[in-house]
């Protein structure tokens, strides 16, 4: 125990003395959350709108005026045939096209209902969700006004159509995504680099010759990064709840349990990388290229898995972050209990067992 | 008979036909030797001659393919943990942590070898005094000159008072004066009864050893005191002895 304690203390010295790295590790989640949360998302002010009005009447005029008056939209173009819709998007002249049906006001008066189509460029899905939502609200408010004026029930049915990204990733998708990435960065990448550094410096040899048990060496290497991950987990949670107003809909405890499991998997991955490499650069490359990029591209964090070719969908199944992100989404955003993420939990559990088994075995082999 | 008995217990390192093969390559080929307590045993050989592999087997880092070995009275094959407790080790790469302070390094290794806090504190004070390091105690090791670091690394490797200390080319890259001082530390250690097993490629250092073995292509080609070796090979110094033997080597770097 004394052995372990002196060793863990040493690991903390390493990290605390390397101030730049520590600042980066603690700062990354904050920067990422702020970037994803504010800079990169739904800047919907002055979204450019094109309007297609086949029959110009009082109702369509009012709606178009209301849309134009709102701070969110600028009506920049009137188009005169449905053929123009697609080119309008292509020229990037508009992000949203509002298409009224023929004889809109007439239909509304006679049948009490009329259709309007909102066609959105969903290349940026977060923005698209927001502005179609605002547009629907504006239309709904017009409908309310009409209802107030007369006793007839009027119904305007907005029909939302997302172009280019029909699946629509949820607006808060990135919080689980950032969690998944940061944990992996710290646990896998930093752990592997820390272990490989000992090899590179030659101090690993001294440790292996000492009576220190290999498992102790591993444990004490892992401990500080484990603590760091927990700090980051808490930072991300606080930021997302208080700064981004993404509530934790489900149980916080289940979230913690799933996260601990994921941290464990990441640590095991880091350990594995460290046994496969003998230089810090190699460790960084493997964890960077081999772990970070698949996580960003294939975990569903940025691109929806459902849109991928089948082969990549299969490949994404071996990426731990995919399962973690999916579990966090269910718990945090959808508010489901731990029982509904049993599949994710068991996959992660299985992965951690396999990884730990392989890396412990590898670590022993290297001793000889 | 009595005499033999005493001799046996005073042997701190015993290698009996130690062999290590990697696939078809025999790194260490059937070597046998004994090292007495308190002796300075020089382990010489060109790069790739197999000295590091042999030393790794004796430290319990590598399991011999065949043969037997005893270090500090323990079987390297069956009791590697006990061997590790009773040896010190200093590698050719620098073996302390640059980003830890002098005393933190000492404390760490003391802790790893299971020493008591109080003992560590007392011995640290003593060591700082002997090395004249009192002003450096709180400095980061990385900020010290190489000679200082190496002296410190050696002192740390014998801090837990091991029976044997293995030094793997400990003086690489150090100037002759510091090397001289370093050897004074080694002599000090032997006067406390610590056996020193040292690999080196500086032939002037070979002269400081009590006995020297020279490895060529995985085998021990010569083993005796420097004086006897020079006589036997009719050489002026150890460098000539080494040149005569190393010329026979068939393998270059491995």
Q: What is the pLDDT of residues B95-125, one digit of tens each?
A: 789 889 999 999 999 999 989 999 999 999 9
Residue contact A13–B104, C-beta within 8 A: yes
Q: What is the pLDDT of residues B2-18, one digit of tens each?
A: 334 334 468 899 999 99
- The residues of chain B scoring below 50 in pLDDT are 1-8, 253-254
Rounded distance, CA A224 to CA A32, Å?
Answer: 22
Residue A223: both structure tokens together: 């401990």
Q: Min CA distance, B9 vs chain A (Å)?
A: 23
Rounded distance, CA A121 to CA A91, Å?
Answer: 12
The pairing of strands B87-90 and B164-168 is: parallel
A186 and A248 share a domain? Answer: yes
Domain boundary among A99, A131, A163: A163
Rounded distance, CA A139 to CA A66, Å?
Answer: 8
A121 and A194 share a domain? Answer: no
At B101 the pLDDT is: 93
Residue contact A209–B114, C-beta within 8 A: no
A329 and A261 share a domain? Answer: yes
Residue contact B111–A5, C-beta within 8 A: yes
What CATH number is given for B37-62+78-246 in this structure?
3.40.50.300
Strand order in the sheet with A113-121: A73-79, A47-52, A96-100, A113-121, A155-163
Element (H, E) at B221: strand B219-224
Residue A129: both structure tokens together: 């969700």
At A290 the pLDDT is: 81
Q: Min CA distance, A201 vs chain B (Å)?
A: 7
A346 and A198 share a domain? Answer: yes
A156 and A303 share a domain? Answer: no
A338 and A226 share a domain? Answer: yes
Tell me, what CATH number does A97's domain have? 3.40.1710.10
ipTM of the complex: 0.81
Domain boundary among A115, A138, A163: A163
A15 and A152 share a domain? Answer: no
With a CB cutoff of 8 Å and minimum separation 6, the contacts of A329 are A170, A173, A176
Residue contact A368–B104, C-beta within 8 A: no
DSSP reduced 3-state for A284: helix
Q: Min CA distance, B192 vs chain A (Å)?
A: 21
Rounded distance, CA B35 to CA B14, Å?
Answer: 7
Domain of A18, in residue numbers: 2-39+172-367
DSSP reduced 3-state for B254: coil
A136 and A15 share a domain? Answer: no
With a CB cutoff of 8 Å and minimum separation 6, the contacts of A90 are none
Nearest by CB to A203, which of B95, B107, B110? B95
Neighbours of B237 (CB within 10 A): 13
Best probe of the A interface among B62, B71, B95, by most A CBs < 10 A, is B95
A94 and A231 share a domain? Answer: no
With a CB cutoff of 8 Å and minimum separation 6, the contacts of B222 are B212, B213, B214, B229, B232, B233, B241, B245
DSSP A39: I
Are the CB atoms for B52 and B128 separated by under 8 Å?
no
Closest CA to A124 of A143, A83, A96, A158: A96
Element (H, E) at B56: helix B51-58
Domain boundary among A135, A163, A191: A163
Are the CB atoms for A354 and A320 separated by under 8 Å?
no
Helices (H) and strands (E) in chain B, counts: 10, 10
At A218 the pLDDT is: 83
At A165 the pLDDT is: 44
Rounded distance, CA B102 to CA B105, Å?
Answer: 5
Nearest by CB to A206, which of B62, B95, B114? B95
DSSP reduced 3-state for B222: strand
Q: What percent of chain B shows pLDDT beyond 70?
A: 95
Nearest by CB to A3, which of B62, B94, B111? B111
Closest CA to B77 of B159, B20, B148: B20
- Residue A312, judged by CB atoms within 10 A of its CB (0-12, 13-18, 19+), counts as middle
- Residue A306, judged by CB atoms within 10 A of its CB (0-12, 13-18, 19+), counts as exposed
Tell me how many domains chain A contains.
2
Domains of chain B, by residue range, sit at: 37-62+78-246
Q: Min CA distance, B173 vs chain A (Å)?
A: 16
Rounded distance, CA A44 to CA A130, Å?
Answer: 7
Contacts of B109 in chain A (CB under 8 A): 210
> Tokens 């009506």, residue?
A75
Transcribe B197-220 into DSSP letters: EEE-S-HHHHHHSSEEEEEETTEE
Best probe of the A interface among B111, B118, B140, B199, by most A CBs < 10 A, is B111
Are the CB atoms for A209 and A289 separated by under 8 Å?
no
At B14 the pLDDT is: 94
A241 and A313 share a domain? Answer: yes
Helices (H), chain A: 2-17, 19-34, 58-69, 85-90, 104-111, 125-149, 174-184, 191-201, 203-209, 214-238, 252-276, 280-285, 293-298, 310-316, 320-328, 342-367
User: How many interface pairs between A and B have CB atoms less than 8 angstroms apart?
Assistant: 76
Neighbours of A299 (CB within 10 A): 24
pLDDT by residue for chain A (368 residues), tens only, comes to 778 888 888 888 888 888 888 888 888 888 877 777 665 554 566 788 888 888 888 888 888 888 888 878 888 888 888 788 887 877 667 888 888 888 888 888 888 788 888 888 776 666 777 788 888 888 888 888 877 777 666 777 776 766 654 444 444 567 788 888 888 877 888 888 888 888 888 888 888 888 888 788 888 888 888 898 899 899 988 888 887 777 787 888 999 999 999 998 998 888 888 888 888 888 888 888 888 788 878 887 767 677 778 888 888 888 898 899 888 888 887 777 888 889 999 999 999 899 888 887 777 655 54
Q: Dihedral, CA atoms, A193, A198, A199, A202, nearest 10 degrees?
A: 150
Q: Own/partner pairs for B233-242, CB < 8 Å, 24+ apart?
A: B237/B203, B237/B207, B238/B203, B238/B204, B238/B206, B238/B207, B238/B212, B239/B203, B241/B214, B242/B44, B242/B203, B242/B206, B242/B214
The pairing of strands B40-45 and B195-199 is: parallel
Transcribe A110-164 into DSSP letters: HHSEEEEEEEEETTSHHHHHHHHHHHHHHHHHHHHHHHHH-SS--EEEEEEEEES
A138 and A259 share a domain? Answer: no
A56 and A76 share a domain? Answer: yes
Are the CB atoms for B17 and B67 separated by under 8 Å?
yes
- Residue A311, judged by CB atoms within 10 A of its CB (0-12, 13-18, 19+), counts as exposed
Q: For residue B20, list its beta bridge partners.
A: B28
With a CB cutoff of 8 Å and minimum separation 6, the contacts of A320 are A184, A262, A265, A266, A269, A348, A351
């Amino acid at each position: 125990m004394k052995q372990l304690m002196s060793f863990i203390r040493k690991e903390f010295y390493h990290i605390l003395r390397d101030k730049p790295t520590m600042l980066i590790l603690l700062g990354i989640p904050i920067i990422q959350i702020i970037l994803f949360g504010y800079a990169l998302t739904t800047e919907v002010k002055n979204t450019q709108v094109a309007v297609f009005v086949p029959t110009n009447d009082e109702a369509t005029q009012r709606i178009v005026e209301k849309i134009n008056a709102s701070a969110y939209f600028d009506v920049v173009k009137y188009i005169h045939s449905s053929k123009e819709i697609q080119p309008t998007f292509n020229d990037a002249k508009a992000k949203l096209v509002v298409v009224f049906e023929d004889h809109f006001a007439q239909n509304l008066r006679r049948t009490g209902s009329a259709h309007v189509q909102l066609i959105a460029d969903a290349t940026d899905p977060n923005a698209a969700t927001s502005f179609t939502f605002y547009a629907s609200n504006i239309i709904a408010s017009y409908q309310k006004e009409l209802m107030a004026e007369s006793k007839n029930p009027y119904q305007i049915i907005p029909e939302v159509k997302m172009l280019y990204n029909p699946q629509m990733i949820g607006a808060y998708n990135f919080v689980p995504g950032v969690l998944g990435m940061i944990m992996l960065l710290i646990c896998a990448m930093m752990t592997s680099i820390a272990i490989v550094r000992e090899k590179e410096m030659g101090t690993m040899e001294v440790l292996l010759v000492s009576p220190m048990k290999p498992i102790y060496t591993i444990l004490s290497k892992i401990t500080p990064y484990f603590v760091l991950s927990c700090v980051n987990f808490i930072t991300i949670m606080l930021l997302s709840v208080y700064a981004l107003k993404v509530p934790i809909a489900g149980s916080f405890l289940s979230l913690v349990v799933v996260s601990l499991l994921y941290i464990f998997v990441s640590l095991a991955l880091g350990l594995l990388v460290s046994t496969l490499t003998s230089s810090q650069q190699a460790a960084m490359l493997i964890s960077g290229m081999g772990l970070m990029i698949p996580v960003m591209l294939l975990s569903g964090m940025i691109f929806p898995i459902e849109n991928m070719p089948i082969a990549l969908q299969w490949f994404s199944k071996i990426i731990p972050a995919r399962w973690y992100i999916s579990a966090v989404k269910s718990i945090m955003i959808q508010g489901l209990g731990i029982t509904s993420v049993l599949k994710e939990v068991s996959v992660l559990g299985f992965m951690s067992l396999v990884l730990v088994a392989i890396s412990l075995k590898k670590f022993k082999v290297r001793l000889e | 008979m009595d005499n033999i008995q005493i001799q046996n217990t005073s042997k701190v390192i015993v290698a009996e036909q130690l062999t290590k093969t990697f696939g078809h390559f025999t790194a260490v080929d059937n070597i046998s030797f004994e090292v007495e307590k308190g002796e300075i045993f020089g382990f010489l050989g060109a790069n790739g001659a197999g000295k590091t592999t042999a030393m790794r087997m004796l430290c319990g880092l590598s399991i011999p393919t065949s043969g037997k070995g005893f270090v500090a009275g323990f079987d390297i094959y069956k009791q590697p943990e006990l061997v590790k407790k009773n040896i010190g080790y200093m590698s050719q790469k620098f073996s302390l942590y640059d980003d830890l302070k002098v005393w933190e390094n000492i404390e760490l290794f003391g802790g790893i070898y299971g020493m008591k806090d109080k003992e560590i504190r007392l011995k640290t004070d003593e060591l700082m005094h002997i090395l004249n390091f009192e002003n450096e105690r709180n400095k980061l090791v990385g900020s010290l000159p190489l000679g200082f670091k190496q002296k410190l690394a050696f002192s740390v490797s014998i801090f837990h008072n091991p029976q044997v200390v293995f030094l793997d080319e400990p003086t690489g890259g150090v100037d002759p004066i510091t090397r001289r001082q370093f050897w004074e530390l080694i002599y000090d250690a032997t006067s406390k009864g610590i056996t020193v097993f040292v690999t080196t490629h500086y032939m002037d250092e070979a002269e400081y050893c009590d006995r020297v073995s020279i490895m060529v292509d995985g085998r021990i080609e010569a083993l005796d005191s420097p004086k006897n070796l020079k006589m036997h090979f009719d050489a002026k110094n150890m460098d000539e002895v080494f040149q005569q033997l190393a010329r026979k080597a068939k393998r270059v770097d491995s």
